[in-house]
Structure 1
């Protein structure tokens, strides 16, 4: 896991040096997608270190390629933005409610990702082909940063979500 954080820091440094463009956006996505399933074990880090984890602004991707990485980056941006709403925007209070909100945000962001995957003429992500809890376990197993640790020295640019997240506390 340490090497992935170091790799992410190096990639983010290269982005800043190259004016926003990188040679292979797939490398950046490998360090952040899929996001980890929120749990009591990672909730504090998920809330506290949000500005220290990678975001994926549109300028990181070439205009006419890397569609999969763009969709994955959008999913990461969504979950990070929505985690902030769960943790700090007053949607939820107390660890139990914040965790419930964070889990719902995670599932919603990955559900949107799968919907977008199926709207293309390419192969879909293998986890999207699964149903119910098997889908969520698949994404959870593939998370490169299950503890939601920040990348040393990185400060995320603000990226507003493209969709509005509405937490339903009745699901808790």
Structure 2
């Protein structure tokens, strides 16, 4: 019963954002739906590719013009990653499950790396996972993942938000 209620509240919030009326909603609460994103794996890759338009996006209208800078950076990371997942899954840059997974993993790391760069460019305390290096950073983000199975929100259709940065997948890293 509690899961059903939280899902219903999440859908309502996201519909308000889609309709442009979400300016009064706490962006930190919104991000609990999708940040940090989980590492793409063979077990969640199908959902990563299939349900992209059913997961949260964060248009500029959902953030107040001032404050909530962390939420804005995290929202941008999610928007960027979801757009890049589309490129990996359907953009024709990768073929076959192995290449698509490699592309999605690289998109995930690139998006979170850019998030950390953005975090460190501001004179505030950075996200705790950004403070660690190498594989520990990725494990930290993955352990905190809000939606590890990349499931969609029922009856939700995300607005199209183009990425703010270009992603170039390097198949030589696979």
Q: If the TM-score is normalised by the length of the shorter chain, which range does it land in?
A: over 0.9
Which 5+ residue runs of structure 2 have no aligned equivalent? none
1:130 pairs, out of 114, 132, 154, with 132
CA RMSD of aligned residues (A): 1.6
CA displacement 1:24-57 (0-9 Å, x = unmatched): 1111011110111000000000000000000000
SS at match of 1:156: coil
Q: Gaps spanning 5+ residues in structure 1: where?
A: none
Mapped partners of 1:79, 1:170: distance in 2? 20
Q: How does 1:11-50 map to 2 (within 5 A)?
A: 11-15=13-17, 19-50=21-52
Aligned to 1:8: 10
Structure 1 outlier segments of 4+, above 3 Å: 1-7, 13-18
Number of residue-to-residue matches in the alignment: 172
- CA apart distance, 1:132: 0.2
1:152–1:37: structure 2 CA closer, same or farther, 3 Å change rule? Answer: same
Contact map agreement 2:119 2:127 (CA 8 A) in 1: yes
TM-score normalised by L of structure 1 = 0.95
**Residues 1:141 and 2:143 aligned together:** yes
Verify: 1:83 aligned to 2:71, yes or no.
no
Contact between 2:20 and 2:62, CA under 8 Å: does it hold in 1?
Answer: no
